[in-house]
């Protein structure tokens, strides 16, 4: 029997909402930050906690309880906080209210920024800082890689000129703030380094040992990692208090979100400085601590994995699931469209990390997702994933 759009919504979106409640309940992130992360990181019209407020905590609680009775899956058991808000008739808007609302300040002076890496993410980050008025030193493994960054940024700025969003003088000024190098020693006098190299702990650890040796005292060392333990990178240095996560989203020049990730060692002034810096370069920063998946991936990928599991069950087709989610939840893409954009290999790797971290049986990667990766059907980048992108 094919599920209705409402049933597909309740199957996939209700556990996602419940997971967001548990994230807030555990004091991992604030209610505004959880909502902002999903809005600016995924393009969702509303964050999950706002959705619960609109639907009503009691409605969401009761629908989850019905799912839990049916599946016995712990992930469908209504979070205790959801139960309490439902009983009290309260909302997350009320629950999350408070705080002094003071904007973060730059506790460390930041005038010169360093970026390590020359890929799309690194190039975008270089452009973001240079456009915001910062002198940027970026380091690549060879002259061709360094030239590639300048070419990438020149092309991006030229598009802005064509659209009338930038003039030629402003473009020249941005390019004039760039300084490429092939030796890490060029980072000796920067105030902040953002590392955007391969997601390999051994390679990153070696880099952090180098940065610790090269960078001046007080310089902040930031990583764009989306999956590796930032604490381990801090431990590779003699300045763990200066190590922090700045998880930009791709493309960095367009996506507004930055997840600012602190370890137990990160100094409060370093955290506040990075939050303030994000605002200065036009980004929306959300705060969380060093845990697998941070906010966005931790909420997004179990939902995508559940969609694959639902498809495997035969209760709905891929098109029915995609259409139902766009119609009922207002998400910009259906789950299978998004999986193909992200890459099924990337999605599987993240889901495996979440499963290893949280030990939740419901986080086990869907067999069909594993099969797609084994077949090399990785999504748009290979021309075939859940959908076929052949000519």
- Determine the pLDDT at residue 24: 96
* 88 noted as active-site residue: no
Average pLDDT on 135-140 reads: 98
What is the distance, to the nearest Å, from the Cα of residue 255 to the centroid of all Cα atoms in its chain?
Answer: 10
Of 76, 108, 242, 259, the active-site residue reads 259
From the list 262, 293, 264, 265, the residue with the least C-alpha distance to 275 is 262
CA–CA distances in Å: residue 177 to residues 113, 126, 150, 236: 10, 10, 11, 31
What kind and span of H or E run contains 7? helix 5-25
* 297 noted as active-site residue: yes
- Determine the pLDDT at residue 227: 81
pLDDT in tens, 157-202: 999 999 999 999 999 999 999 999 999 999 999 999 999 999 899 9
- Token digits of residue 141: 């493994």
pLDDT in tens, 242-270: 999 999 998 999 999 999 999 999 999 99
- Determine the pLDDT at residue 390: 79
Of 10, 271, 297, 322, the active-site residue reads 297
Across the chain, mean pLDDT equals: 95
Of 247, 272, 305, 344, the active-site residue reads 247
pLDDT in tens, 295-333: 999 999 999 999 999 999 999 999 999 999 999 999 999
Q: Answer positive or negative: Cα dihedral of 31, 33, 39, 44.
A: negative
- Determine the pLDDT at residue 2: 80
* 259 noted as active-site residue: yes
Of 123, 226, 287, 292, the active-site residue reads 226
pLDDT in tens, 27-68: 999 999 999 999 999 999 999 999 999 999 999 999 999 999
Instruction: Locate the DSSP E strands across 28-175.
Output: 112-116, 135-139
Report percent pLDDT > 70 for the chain: 98
Class for the domain spanning 112-289: alpha beta
Report percent pLDDT > 90 for the chain: 94
- Determine the pLDDT at residue 177: 97
* CATH (residue range 5-96+295-382): 1.10.1040.50
* 74 noted as active-site residue: no
- Determine the pLDDT at residue 55: 95
Q: Specify the higher pLDDT residue, 276 or 74.
A: 276
Q: Is residue 99 pLDDT above 80, yes or no?
A: no
Domain ranges within the chain, ordered by starting residue? 5-96+295-382, 112-289
Q: Specify the higher pLDDT residue, 102 or 136.
A: 136
């Amino acid at each position: 029997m094919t599920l209705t759009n409402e049933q597909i919504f309740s199957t996939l979106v209700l556990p996602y909402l419940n997971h967001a409640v548990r994230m807030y309940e555990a004091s991992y992130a604030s209610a505004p930050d959880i909502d902002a992360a999903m809005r600016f990181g995924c393009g969702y019209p509303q964050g999950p906690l706002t959705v619960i407020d609109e639907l009503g905590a009691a409605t969401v609680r009761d629908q989850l309880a019905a799912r839990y009775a049916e599946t016995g899956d712990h992930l469908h058991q209504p979070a205790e906080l959801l139960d309490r808000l439902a009983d009290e008739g309260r909302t997350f808007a009320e629950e999350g209210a408070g705080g002094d609302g003071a904007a973060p300040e730059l506790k460390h002076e930041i005038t010169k920024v360093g970026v390590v890496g020359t890929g799309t993410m690194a190039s975008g980050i270089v452009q973001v800082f240079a456009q915001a008025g910062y002198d940027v030193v970026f380091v690549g493994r060879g002259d061709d890689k360094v030239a590639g960054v300048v070419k990438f940024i020149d092309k991006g700025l030229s598009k802005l000129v064509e659209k009338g969003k930038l003039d030629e003088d402003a473009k020249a000024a941005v390019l004039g703030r760039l300084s490429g190098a092939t030796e890490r020693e060029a980072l000796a006098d920067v105030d902040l380094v953002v590392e955007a190299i391969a997601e390999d702990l051994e390679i990153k650890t070696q880099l952090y040992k180098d940065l610790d040796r090269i960078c001046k005292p007080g310089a902040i060392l930031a990583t764009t990692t989306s999956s590796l333990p930032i604490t381990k990178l801090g431990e590779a240095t003699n300045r763990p208090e200066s190590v922090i996560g700045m998880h930009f989203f791709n493309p960095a020049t367009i996506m507004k979100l930055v997840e600012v990730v602190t370890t137990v060692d990160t100094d409060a002034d370093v955290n506040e400085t990075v939050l303030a810096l994000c605002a200065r370069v036009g980004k929306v920063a959300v705060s969380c601590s060093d845990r697998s998946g941070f906010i966005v991936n931790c909420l997004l990928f179990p939902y995508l994995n559940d969609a694959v599991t639902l498809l495997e069950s035969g209760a709905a087709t891929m098109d029915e699931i995609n259409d139902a989610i766009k119609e009922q939840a207002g998400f910009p893409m259906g789950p299978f469209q998004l999986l193909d954009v992200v890459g099924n290999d990337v999605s599987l790797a993240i889901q495996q990390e979440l499963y290893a971290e949280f030990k939740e049986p419901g986080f086990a990667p869907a067999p069909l997702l594993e099969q797609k990766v084994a077949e090399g059907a990785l999504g748009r980048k290979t021309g075939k994933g859940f959908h076929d992108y052949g000519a």
